[in-house]
Amino acid sequence: MSQKNKFVYAFEQFGRSFLLPVSVLPGAGIIKGIGTAFSNSDTLKMFPVLQNQIFQFIMKFFITLGDTAFNHLPIIFAVGVAVGLAKREKGSAALSGVLGFIVLHSVLNFLLVQSHSLVDTSKLSSAEAKLAMANAMQTKVMGIQTLDLSVFGGIIVGVVVFFVHRWAVKKQLPALIGFFSGPRFVPIVTIVAMAFVSVILFFIWPPIQQGISVMSVFILKSGPLGTFLYGLVERALLPFGLHHGLNWPVRTTELGGTWTINGERVVGTINAYLASLADPNITSIDPSITRFNGGKFVYFMFGLSGAAYAMYKTADPKKRKVVGSLLFAAAGTAFLTGITEPIEFTFLFVAPILYIAHAFMAGTALLVMHLLGAGVATPTGHGFINLIIYGVLQGPKTHWWLVFIVGVPCFILYYYVFRLLILKFNLKTPGREDSDEVKLSSKKEAREKLGVTINQVGQDNSNNDLHPEDQALLNSGTAMKTIPDSPEGIYQQALGLIAAHGGPDNIEEVNACITRLRINVKDKAQVDKDTIVHQLGALGFAENDMQMQSIYGAHANVLKMEIQDILGMEE
């Protein structure tokens, strides 16, 4: 396989690992969106009937359920990416993902305390504490006050765990501490690796945040061009969780603008919008108030739906039913509630060129709505539910109909742009993967993609032999060595064990406990016990029915994984 193909393959695997955590979001988004829409104070004022205690209890319960996923999205990504990228021992990868995430934020908290940078919230109300932490780009994660890395922090952890896992999972430690070899070694190394990564992030993240603040001021002061740039940059920052540093000041501070409404000075776009809705003398809302807001309804509701439809139409026809359930649920979440992460993350890392196109079209949607004089906005959630509440029900002063007039062409634009890019560059969006199913790649698929012929254990392999080099070593008998101390030696020892157990056709299952390599065979008469003990370094040998048990101490698990790799066996 060429270097280019290896890079493409690795990037596809990286992108596909995001499907696991992303699959959690559509359902959680719809549940939270419904709860939020029917329990906020403005909705209750307009529809007093919704103030029923039982109904409000249910709506608040919905919000809690939705927040369970969205408030812990970073750790979900840390575990999801680590598990998605790991080729074996996924349980070890998952544990290391959780541990690495805790280490990251614990170390950042320690460094903030030691550098006297931690915002003191002990004497502040909940709202004041959130504002103070937001201004300092800090937040609380699992009860730990830390830097606000958002989902990006989880992705960093997942990637670090992947590299640690790949290196450490087969490491054989000295006999004295041999118990900690293999999968047990991964979490230990993860602690050390994430400590170093955390220190690096502590120093590089503040300059990144400062650069964003400077860029934000420039965008806000540059007229219609600034409206376009705002939409472009805001979407570009979303994957890193840095879009809050752009949105929060615009919505609530003078950076968003200053207006005099009903004789009072109002700062921030959302404050000005709500004040404009409450002023009966205002018959048309100033589009300068909503220029960073109104266009979001267009691409949240219509644009991303067009993107989902394009991915659906370009998917393999055999996979469309499965693909449709993922894409349309994610698009429905964006359309109804304005929560876009499920659909955006579906293509963000699998095909980043689509996300770049999305960012440009999002900026264009904001610009067009600004130039047309749209006056519709919402405090949060640019979906259909909030469009009804904050747009349609507020009357003609919001010019809410522009959302639909611009939205339909936006749907078409997104559809054709996504379709063109997917087909032109053969992007591996959902349903276009090389595998037969819409799922994470298995070890078997990975080996096939690397051009390695796989022996199917327990089946007729007359036309599906081992890799020629593997077969040659098996036939020569040169693989039968004592305990090795190098990857090449482990590989040869594993080949020797395969031969000593009657070859691939005789092996049904390979497993290991703490000290024993356990291989289930079809015919135990073909097993060469003497070779296993005297030439292949086993400390002892036992059998339990058709299961052959070779005692190798902590080295047993390393041999298990090597044999599984050679035979193309799944965990």
Continuous H helices in 116-220: 126-135, 150-168, 185-220
Residue indicated by tokens 């705002």: 230
* Cβ(516)–Cβ(560) below 8 Å: no
d(CA 181, CA 169) in angstroms, rounded, equals: 8
d(CA 258, CA 266) in angstroms, rounded, equals: 6
Q: Name the nearest CA neighbour of 291 among 257, 334, 262.
A: 257
- Of the residues 353, 420, 513, 542, only one is catalytic, namely 513
Classify strands 507-512 and 264-267 as parallel, antiparallel or unpaired: unpaired
d(CA 294, CA 40) in angstroms, rounded, equals: 20
3-state secondary structure at position 265: strand
Return all residues near 375 (Cβ < 8 A) that are at least 6 apart. Answer: 276, 284, 285, 286, 287, 289, 290, 294, 397, 398, 399
d(CA 190, CA 552) in angstroms, rounded, equals: 26
Return all residues near 382 (Cβ < 8 A) that are at least 6 apart. Answer: 293, 296, 297, 300, 301, 338
Largest CA distance in the chain: 97
3-state secondary structure at position 521: strand
Backbone angles phi, psi at 142, to 5 degrees: 55, 40
3-state secondary structure at position 340: coil
The continuous run of DSSP H or E covering 140 comes out as strand 138-141
Distances in whole angstroms, Cα of residue 265 to Cα of each of 131, 272, 543: 21, 9, 85
Distances in whole angstroms, Cα of residue 216 to Cα of each of 211, 242, 246, 291, 356: 9, 11, 6, 15, 19
Continuous H helices in 317-351: 320-337, 341-348
CA atoms within 13 A on the CB side of 212: 24
Concerning whether 410 is annotated as a catalytic residue, the answer is no
Distances in whole angstroms, Cα of residue 330 to Cα of each of 76, 310, 384, 429: 17, 14, 14, 14
Q: Give how far the C-alpha of residue 176 lies from the chain's centroid of Cα atoms, to the nearest Å.
A: 39
- Active site amino acids: 513
